[in-house]
Amino acid sequence: MNRDTTAASDARPAPVYGIGDASFRAAGGVAGLRQLVEDFYQLMDSLPEAATIRAMHPDDLTEAADKLHRFLCGWLGGPKLYREKYGAIHIPAAHAHLAIGEAERDAWLQCMAAALARQDYPQDFRDYLLRELFRPAEGCRRAAQRAGASGTGAT
């Protein structure tokens, strides 16, 4: 009788993102998220598909990058750096004044997907994070629609 003798202990359990600080740690903590945000805004500056959303930002992206970095740290289960510096935030409400339609939402997600691809993250974490980021991105689109702002894409 020839049986597979691979011990069950050899198999590593799949990471459970979204529990405690697992996502924050998977993203490389403060430094890993800083790199992700740096790559994200570099891509937003360079991808033609992102021109519309880039125009929604000031020329100097320093504050936007700081805010996104701090937000992601807390949102992924790490330290609440955004709240410490800027106070509480409701992402959709903070973006409701912008003309965000499907095209703008998708351009933002495309920049994030490309930035995630540059990171040394496990593929399952990249997929997880992009899925999770769709929620606030879609929330921003809906908030803009309710506020009367409309993007170039269908809403």
Please give the span between the terminal C-alpha atoms of the chain, in angstroms, as a whole number: 62
CATH no. for residue 55? 1.10.490.10
Assess if residue 36 is contained within a domain: yes
Is residue 1 predicted with pLDDT exceeding 90? no
Assess if residue 10 is contained within a domain: no
pLDDT 10s digits, 20-76: 999 999 999 999 999 999 999 999 999 999 999 999 999 999 999 999 999 999 999
Assess if residue 12 is contained within a domain: no
pLDDT 10s digits, 113-147: 999 999 999 999 999 999 999 999 999 999 999 99
Task: Tell me the helix, strand and coil percentages in the chain, rounded to 5.
Answer: 65, 0, 35
The pLDDT of residue 16 is 87
Assess if residue 154 is contained within a domain: no
CB-CB contact of 26 with 121 (8 Å): yes
CB-CB contact of 130 with 108 (8 Å): no
Assess if residue 8 is contained within a domain: no
DSSP, residue by residue, 13-60 = PPP-TTSTTHHHHHTTHHHHHHHHHHHHHHHHHH-GGGHHHHTTS-S-
Assess if residue 75 is contained within a domain: yes
Could you give the number of structural domains in the chain?
1
What is the number of other CB atoms lying within 10 angstroms of the CB of residue 70? Answer: 24
Assess if residue 77 is contained within a domain: yes
Assess if residue 9 is contained within a domain: no
Is residue 155 predicted with pLDDT exceeding 90? no
pTM value is 0.86
- Range of the structural domain that residue 37 is part of: 20-147
pLDDT 10s digits, 13-32: 667 899 999 999 999 999 99
